[in-house]
Structure 1
């Protein structure tokens, strides 16, 4: 369970308590701290999260806590009108807007699945360059340099230009994960701009410097 709580909560007091109690085999206190985490943050946790806590509470004959956990599942359905995937949480910003927090474990699996779909391994055998793979209105710009690969998430904007979410591109992804130097990131940005010019592709970096 602790492995499927998003990093957003790692500095929260109750999460830290839960980890400490877990290491000391204090199962009941671990369970109570996880419940307190949801109360402290006032965020929505997944139905699977609550099911696991409810089952755990029942196994320890903590029936009041089990009932509380199952009540949260009903509350999610009534208030959100949708299910929250395991490893996600939902934060209510206002009556119409919600923010999602997703555990890195889930994001890594998304990346693995996307790499398989885009046949990324074969890209590493190609000449250095930039390769665009689209899936509907979103996609990925893969940059190959000296048998290394990094990537930029892209999205088709309202003006049909490609919006590049470049700010979060901070690592070489393959053949192993390594942080990009400031110079490497600037070189990649320049290479993308040249690629866009050569291919007549309208682009917009997410920091709005074209």
Structure 2
């Protein structure tokens, strides 16, 4: 699926060590949340053992050998310095240099990078960050106003965008991008009604959404292609 991408600069705030570590935990991609070191970190936070929580996040990155964001390492380095853990602070700052040398690009906050070779990379992205992007997108697309308007609504952002399908006050969203022969719809990833609350789509719901899109495309003469 093509990810609709809003990357925002994080404001510079002087967080305490506890606040910094909790923030890094909150924005940890789902992929790592069952990892032993992540679980350890959460337990150490509950017990107010900030230094051990910091150690666990360092070990999480080391054990996976993935490239965590520069903000991740900068936050840990600052936290370590506040706890007078100079060696750990220096180690964390070295990881920022490692990122620059090994992947030669910046990894945004809430992301991690996996390197396969010099030209092939994979990313894991925080679910919380994705939700923030979705909230921003819905505000820009004025989705709340669509909840009272039955049917299919297209909102384009250049060569990509979303179809918002409204049915009985509920809204489903299907991402698309402009292909050679029309709109490529990432329908296979549609699992839930997104508004007014997140609810799982039934098989019948999803089929109705599909039919609504087909009828809309026929009426508006939009060429569409479902990815499933």
Q: Tell me if TM exceeds 0.5.
A: yes
Distance in 2, matches of 1:85 and 1:3, equals: 15
| Structure 2 unmatched runs, 5+ | 1-23
Please tell me whether the aligned partners of residues 103 and 115 of structure 2 are also in contact (alpha carbons under 8 angstroms). Answer: no
- Give 1:92's aligned residue: 115
1:21 to 2:44 alignment: yes
TM-aligned CA deviation for residue 145 of structure 1: 0.4
- Give 1:186's aligned residue: 207
Between 1:44-53 and 1:85-94, the stretch displaced more is 85-94
Distance in 2, matches of 1:151 and 1:48, equals: 31
Q: SS where residue 93 of structure 1 aligns?
A: strand
TM-aligned CA deviation for residue 94 of structure 1: 2.9
Aligned partner of 2:160 among 131, 138, 143: 138
Please tell me whether the aligned partners of residues 103 and 118 of structure 2 are also in contact (alpha carbons under 8 angstroms). Answer: no
Distance in 2, matches of 1:87 and 1:183, equals: 35
TM-aligned CA deviation for residue 123 of structure 1: 1.1
1:105 to 2:128 alignment: yes
Distance in 2, matches of 1:42 and 1:100, equals: 13
- Give 2:173's aligned residue: 151
1:29-44 alignment, distance < 5 Å:
29-44=52-67
- Give 1:114's aligned residue: 137
